[in-house]
Amino acid sequence: MDPNVAKLRELCLKRGATGIKGIRRQFKIMDDDRSKTLSYDEFRKGIHDFGLAVTDEESKNIFAAFDADGTGSIGFEEFLAKLRPPMSKSRVDLIHKAFKKADKTGDGVINAKDLKGIYNVRCHPKYQNGEWTEKQCFEEFLKSFEPDEARRDGQVTLDEFMDYYSGVSNSIDEDAYFDLMMRNAWKI
C-alpha cells in the first residue's frame, strides 16, 4: 500500500472515521459540490485540509490509487475500499470456505453446473413466472461475480469471488454479521 494512502487512512481515523458512517462523513466533507463523487480538485483540497502534506505529483498518485475504475473521479465505494483496513483472516477464511463449497467439481471455478443444489432458484421471481429456466437463473447469479461484461465467461474464479466479497465486506463493519451472512448464504 502507498504510504500516503496509509497516512490518509490514519488521518481519517484520527478525525473519528471509524466504521462506514465515519468514512462516509469524511467523504461528504470532501465532496464540495455534493455530486457524490470526488473530483481531483476536491480530493486534493480534502487531503490538504486533513493535514496530509504531499506534493502535487504525490496527490495525483494517491488520487489514481483511489480511482480504481479510471473515471477521473472517486465514488464512495472506491474511497471506502482504500480507507478500510484489509479484510480480517476470519473473513478471508469464510470466503475461501464458501468458494470451496460452491466449486463442487473442484476445478477452481464456479459455473452454473456447480450451483445446482447450492443456489436455490425456486424463489427467483423470473423462475416462478416461467420467464427463466433454472440455468438462466444460475447464469444471471454468476454475473454478479463478474462485473466486467467484456471478460464475463460464466466461470467465476477464486479471485473474482474474493473481489466480490471484498466489496460486500467493505459495507459490513462487524465481523460477527459478516460471518453470519456468509454462513447463511452458503450454508457453511
Residues 116-139, mean pLDDT to the nearest whole number: 88
Select the more confidently predicted residue: 61 or 107: 107
Sheet strands (E) in the chain: 37-38, 74-75, 109-110, 156-157
Q: Percent of the chain scored above 90 by pLDDT? A: 38
| pLDDT for residue 117 | 80
| pLDDT for residue 50 | 78
Residues 10-37: tens digit of each pLDDT: 777 676 655 556 677 778 889 999 999 9
Quick one: pLDDT band at residue 49, thresholds 50, 70, 90? confident
Contacts with 47 (C-beta within 8 Å, 6 or more apart), sequence order: 8, 54, 59, 62
Residues 87-114: tens digit of each pLDDT: 899 999 999 999 999 999 999 999 988 9
Domain 3-83 adopts which CATH fold?
Recoverin; domain 1 (1.10.238)
Q: What's the mean pLDDT when you consider all of the chain?
A: 86
CA distances from 132 to 25, 140, 149 (A): 42, 10, 20
For the chain, the structural domain boundaries read 3-83, 89-186
The correct CATH number of 89-186 out of 3.30.70.1430, 1.10.238.10, 3.40.50.1970, 2.60.120.560 is 1.10.238.10
Q: Percent of the chain scored above 70 by pLDDT? A: 94
pLDDT of 179 > 60? The answer is yes
Placement of cell 479484510 in the chain: 87
Most confident of 29-43, 71-85, 169-183: 29-43
Indicate whether this model's pTM tops 0.85: no
Fold identical between 3-83 and 89-186?
Answer: yes
